[in-house]
Homo-oligomer: A and B are copies of this chain.
Amino acid sequence: MSWLDIFRSREKPKPATAELAKDRLQIILAHERVGRGREDFLPKLQQELIAVVARYVAVDPDKVSVNLERGSGMSTLAIGIELPSPGNAGRNAA
């Protein structure tokens, strides 16, 4: 799956100083619709997906960004979640 390379190429972004020790989670949903017979359900999924993630990690609602784009044949929902640092461990940002 070559599109995963996109994420890999973003593996070492240059974070702002304040974000240096932040983990990040990105969730992307892409719904390809062949016809027009199906409702676009991505917007409804949004809060539920975040709620599922929040069961595993602390999610600050202020640190969640959502981007929904609807096209004729495809809708994409991108959720970005900035995760708080896990305690004081793992601050080796190098």
* Chain A residues close to B by CB (< 8 Å): 1, 3-4, 6-8, 10-13, 20-38, 41, 44-45, 48-49, 52-53, 55-57, 67, 69, 71, 73-74, 76, 78, 83, 85-93
List of B residues within 8 angstroms of A93 by Cβ: 34-35
Contact of A49 among B25, B52, B57, B69 (CB under 8 A): B52
Contact of A27 among B28, B57, B73 (CB under 8 A): B28
For the complex formed by this chain, how many copies does it contain in all?
2
List of B residues within 8 angstroms of A28 by Cβ: 4, 7, 26-30
Contact (Cβ within 8 A) B52 A56: no
Contact (Cβ within 8 A) A86 B23: no
